[in-house]
Amino acid sequence: MSATESTGPGRADDVESTANTAAPRPSGRLRRGEEFEAEIDTLAYGGRGIARRDGYVIFINGGLPGDRVRARVGKSKKSYAEANLVQLLTPSPDRIEDSDIHQGEPCPGASWQALPYETQLAFKEEQVNDSLSRIGRLEGFELDPIVPALEKWRYRNKVEYSFGEQEGQLVLGFHPRGRWDQVLDIEDCKLSSEATNKAKNDLLDWAKSEGLTAYDPRDHRGVLRNLVVREGRRTGQVQTRLVTSVADFPKPPVDLHTTIDGPSGNTSGPTGVLGEEILRERIFDLNLQLSHDSFFQTNTEMAEQLYGIASDFAGLTGGEKLFDLYCGVGTIGLSMAGQAGQVWGLEIVPDAIENAKRNARANNIGNAHFVAGNARTGTRPLIERAGKPDVVTIDPPRAGLSAKIVRRLIECEAKRIVYISCNPTTLAPNAAQLVEAGYKLVRVRPVDMFPQTPHIECVAQFDLT
């Protein structure tokens, strides 16, 4: 996966699909702004509660199964509505007390914390199965039990904080859901380690001592935008990167400083090195070096579980040629290199490819080769250069694979494809395309990389029939 982990809802077409399946002729349509009472039946992919009214489907932010709520409609469509919880009238008997609260609000990054953990796992496993069977119309595959997280809290190795102001005071934390004009002051986020929280609090103390102000996207005034903290869970290294507007102020006590000129809301821009440039991490027996903009799974311990399952599904015996598409810094391919004859990684981000090559050298892996290129335009040249692979691993972003990339994947004619997905609703149509082309979906295993959130990762094995 090459995208950041967010806590937003599922895609609009996933909503449409669910709504149309549940209610082909709704009669209880609600109007925008209308308030209503309802009981939550279940959860949609993306974590929102589902309620129904005379055949009309309503997706409610903040609702959990068994809750009776009062909600207000934000968006009204012919077959469904989207609403926000206004009042929890009767909590579900399964609700537990929120563990991560800030200023009286649940942590925006832990939207499922009121669900017992076993219930979270059950919903995630069910949603993987539902996506493949309902969206992909697939059957006959083996669904292995979901792999639970090793740590239910304090598992994130990367956290992105936002600066803001409250009553004239500088704060550093997270935006409440749907409120990009506000920031919750976060002193101790329980999804983050104590070391990450300390780094954040120390930087905030420095910023206050220097009298710096937060950037306001409404009038484009102020300096401080974001703080990105990454942690080498196995090395103990903590790397900090401050994101600011272009301005003169004292040298910040961080490793990296990114400046952004203009109203951009992301954290990408020219970056200067003030301290440690490379983040060092270990996974399996690999020593990894990561540049600040390179993707790495946000849960180090569960990344090992995820890639271990991918290796098991690949079934390498020592002589196979492996293509690792969307290879990032090479973690998947390098972790399988000892069981393969050759590994060829393809990734569109040049810096990530340089990381992958450096990691191969640092770990004395001589049978792994990495090439910068787009999966759509680079797969054919890779086949011409290396020959067709026996096995392909692919780890795309949340949007999954386009139809053209699926065709390039099919052209590889690999005997086996191992697809690592961070979104079962986009895995499903890709899986259906592969099955139509002659592959069999053999088995799927969900992995809980992100406890207290609705996000689901899974590994799927396809064999050429």
**Whose CA is closest to 231, among 241, 222, 246?**
241
**Active-site annotation holder among 107, 189, 327, 422:** 422
Phi then psi for residue 352, to 5 deg, are: -65, -40
- Contact by Cβ (8 Å): 275, 230: no
Strand 391-394 vs strand 416-421: parallel, antiparallel, or unpaired?
A: parallel
- Contact by Cβ (8 Å): 275, 424: no
Q: Is the dihedral of CA 161, 115, 429, 391 positive or negative?
A: positive
Paired strand residues for 83 = 60, 73
Question: One-letter amino acid identity for 202?
Answer: D
What HEC string does the chain produce? Answer: CCCCCCCCCCCHHHHHHHHHHHCCCCCCCCCCCCEEEEECCEECCCCCEEEEECCEEEEEECCCCCCEEEEEEEEECCCEEEEEEEEEEECCCCCCCCCCEECCEECCCCCCCCCCHHHHHHHHHHHHHHHHHHHCCCCCCEECCCECCCCCCCCECEEEEEEEEECCEEEEEECCCCCCCCCEECCCCCCECHHHHHHHHHHHHHHHHCCCCECECCCCECCEEEEEEEECCCCCCEEEEEEEECCCCCCCCCCEEEEECCCCCCCCCCEEECCCCCEEEEECCEEEEECCCCCCCCCHHHHHHHHHHHHHHHCCCCCCEEEEECCCCCHHHHHHHHHCCEEEEEECCHHHHHHHHHHHHHCCCCCEEEEECCHHHHHHHHHHHHCCCCEEEECCCCCCCCHHHHHHHHHCCCCEEEEEECCHHHHHHHHHHHHHCCEEEEEEEEECCCCCCCCCEEEEEEEEC
Active site residue 189: no
What residues contact residue 163 under an 8 Å CB cut-off, 6+ apart? 170, 171, 172, 183, 207, 214, 215, 222, 224, 225, 226, 227
Distance CA 307, CA 323 (A): 15
Active site residue ranges: 422
